[in-house]
Amino acid sequence: MDAMDLTDDQADRLAQIIRGYRKRKRLSQQAFADRAGISIATMGRIERAESRTLTDSTIAGIEAAMEWQEDSVRLVVLGGSPIPADHPRPVITERGVLVRDDGDDLETRWYAAWQRVRDLPGAPEALLLIIERYLHNPRHGET
């Protein structure tokens, strides 16, 4: 994971989600900052949507404090939903194929989706959103 630069809209979205979570859990900014392993000053900048660059350690800390899987911050700032920590972990193989750790082989479906988006501008973000939508569909895309 690399440091992440945020647009104004992305910083606002992340700030709203973190603030909402913190208030629902009745955590002070200091308590959340302690859970995330970040300073109270950093926490304040994130909640005021003033942070435009998040370091790897800040991202990892937010994901841990929010009980999200790795890369959930990226999904959230792109307009998607986080993946809860207790959700089966997706794995992306070298061909861009998604399979789940629980043995559910989705190679054909995800390889076809990957082929459709790989050459589009912003393809990595588009692929993340497709994967996120699939993972949060209780029927896993079945019609």
3-state DSSP of 75-131: HHHCCCCCCECCCCCEEECCCCCEEECCCCECHHHHHHHHHHHCCCCCHHHHHHHHH
The arithmetic mean of pLDDT across residues 52-59, rounded, is 94
CA 33 to chain centre: 18
Residue range 21-34: average pLDDT? 95
Query: Who wins on pLDDT, 133 or 1?
Result: 133
- The reply to whether 72 and 14 lie within a common domain is yes
Q: Is residue 143 part of a domain?
A: no
Is residue 126 predicted with pLDDT exceeding 70? no
Coil, helix or strand at residue 143: coil
The conformational region for residue 23 under phi > 0 = left, psi -120 to 50 = alpha, else beta, is alpha
- Predicted confidence at residue 104, as pLDDT, reads 46
Structure tokens at 60: 């990892």
Q: Is residue 40's pLDDT more than 70?
A: yes
Please tell me whether residues 55 and 106 are part of one structural domain.
no
> In the predicted model, is pLDDT for residue 101 greater than 80?
no
pLDDT value of residue 18: 96
Number of domains in the chain: 2
| Helix/strand number for the chain, H first, E second | 7, 4
Q: Is 85 exposed, middle or buried (0-12, 13-18, 19+ CB in 10 A)?
A: middle
Structural contact between residues 95 and 111, judged by C-beta atoms closer than 8 angstroms: yes
For residues 69 and 17, which has the higher predicted lDDT (pLDDT)? Answer: 17
Final residue before a domain boundary, out of 77, 98, 121: 77
Q: What is the pTM of this model?
A: 0.63
If you average pLDDT over every residue of the chain, what do you get? 77
- As a whole number, mean pLDDT of residues 33-42 equals 96
Q: Has residue 135 got a pLDDT over 50?
A: yes
Residue 131: which domain range? 90-135
Q: Which of 28, 17, 137 is nearest to 74 (CA)?
A: 17
53 and 107 co-located in one domain = no
Confidence tier at 58 by pLDDT (50, 70, 90)? very high
